[in-house]
Amino acid sequence: MKSSNQSLSINNHQSSKRSAKTMFQTKASIIKRFSLSVLTMLLLMVLAFTSQAQTEQLVKFQSVVLNPEFKDVKSRPFSQKRFIFPVKEKDKITGIPKGLSDYKLLHSFADRNQFFYQSYKEGSMAENMYSQMEDIREEVHTEKWLDGVLSVVIGKDKSDKLTLFVDSNNNEDFSDETALTFQLTKTSSGKSQHVAEGQVSIEYFERGKVKERTIPIKFLLQDSTDYESLAWYVPNYKEASISVKGTDYKIALGSNPAYRIGYYYFFYIDLNRDGIFDTKRGSAESYSLSEPFNLGGVGLKIKQLAQDGSSIILEEVEEEVLPKVVVKAGTAAPDFKARTLKGKSISLDALKGNFILLDFWAPSCPYCVNEIDYLIEANKAFENKLTVVGMVGDTDKAVLEAFLAKHNIDWPQVLAALDSEIARSYSVYGFPTQYLIDPKGTIIEAGASLRGDELMATLKKHIK
């Protein structure tokens, strides 16, 4: 017969075994749940990575020689009269070829904004002038002085032949350069012009690093007696192909904006696949780089662009992107509702019944300021039949009010920056942009016909 002590010992031993078993099962359960959590996390990471890989597409561009069908070509001047700030090299120019007569040393810049930024930072550009440069993004520029200036010498050689020297290696020394010869050609309108071809190395700043590249250049001289009529442009553009739902489309980066090699603002898609890009601003095939687009029923946008235009990364967007509505003469004007600078509500629907002139502008835009007197004249001449509405770019409200008072501008003003819903709906990519809308809300004129002396003539044609 077992003693009570023996019985208690046995019971304790059995209880300990049960506790150990329970603890083991609990630990095993925890480890199992932890393992499942880790596996789930890894699976989600793999799915996210796979999803990202499926929704992103790397597109590499090739440089294509310009052809007459590609209209987005911008020449850059050498004339100092066209610049608001003197363009010059930081170091002294040497080695100007001997034997040149009646020559002129000219400069232009590859990147206007970088040049202005570095000039401001070194103290050679005044604060009030720099503050007018509304499109400078300081985060993409460097205070270090970059040699992005193009320097040329143009004149007559000993045989009285028009000759051009280009500082192609960007060392501010012309003694190691070979003369370029001009060829006399005809423009599409039949005018004569002198053309020369060469190349030049420039410095640029990209993602925190100073880089250098060589680019092809074409030089155009409209008037052989006026050397400052010399201009230049890059004679190629970037083109690639992408496939969406089994259909191939050609895409292109436009010619970079004036003075800014390597910076692209526009993106083109050959939607109808006719081999020609419609580069007109606001067309169904023309987009700003930040603008989502619909291609084959898929919403896409550019996630990243290499500064030299060599590649982009396209990604699908979750929100619905409708096909682009083309804003031009003959189409319905996009509706808008807003508050004027004075706090009053305004909308396209409320303005219908009169002709409406929408003027997208900014006080810092000299071309816009040039239009003010023409707009004042039109506003007075048709005050009972025409409503002028200013859609003004983002600016300081107090400064804007002072500007309006100074120039006697009394028509309604709505703050509408380039990235605003109103500006986007009207395909506004720069200032000035104008639209004339008839009393029923249809756009009947746009662009150049509403500027300068053309404005009054256009209004008289429509408003009786």
Q: What pLDDT does 454 receive?
A: 92
Q: What pLDDT does 53 receive?
A: 43
Q: Above 70 in pLDDT, residue 28?
A: no
Q: What pLDDT does 8 receive?
A: 42
Longest Cα pair distance anywhere in the chain, in angstroms? 136
Backbone phi and psi for residue 180, each to the nearest 5 degrees, phi listed first: -100, 140
> The tokens 């045989």 sit on which residue?
159
Q: What pLDDT does 44 receive?
A: 58
Q: Which residue has the higher pLDDT, 16 or 413?
A: 413
Q: Above 60 in pLDDT, residue 372?
A: yes
Q: How far is CA 251 from the centre of its chain?
A: 16
Digit-coded pLDDT (tens) for 133-173: 766 777 778 888 888 889 999 999 999 999 999 999 999 99
Instruction: Tell me the pTM.
Output: 0.57
> The tokens 């601003």 sit on which residue?
281
| H/E segment holding residue 370 | helix 366-370
> The tokens 């010399």 sit on which residue?
230
Q: How far is CA 420 from the centre of its chain?
A: 15
Q: Above 70 in pLDDT, residue 207?
A: yes
Digit-coded pLDDT (tens) for 217-274: 999 998 888 998 899 888 888 899 999 888 999 999 876 554 455 567 788 999 888 8
Q: What pLDDT does 135 receive?
A: 63
Q: Where are the domains of the chain?
A: 56-324, 337-462
Digit-coded pLDDT (tens) for 173-188: 999 999 999 999 887 6
Alpha carbon separation from 201 to 41, 198, 211, 216, 226 (Å, rounded): 50, 11, 10, 9, 26
As given in the structure block, the two tokens for residue 358 are 């929408």
The CATH number of 337-462 is which of 3.40.30.10, 3.40.640.10, 3.40.50.10330, 3.40.50.1220? 3.40.30.10
As given in the structure block, the two tokens for residue 22 are 């329970």
Strands 386-392 and 413-415: parallel
For residue 26, the SS3 value is helix
Sheet holding 76-77, edge to edge: 76-77, 230-233, 209-221, 192-206, 183-186
> The tokens 């809300």 sit on which residue?
441
Which of 67-76, 148-157, 210-219 is the most confident on average? 148-157
The Cα–Cα gap between 159 and 6 comes to 128
Q: Above 60 in pLDDT, residue 391?
A: yes
Q: What pLDDT does 1 receive?
A: 44
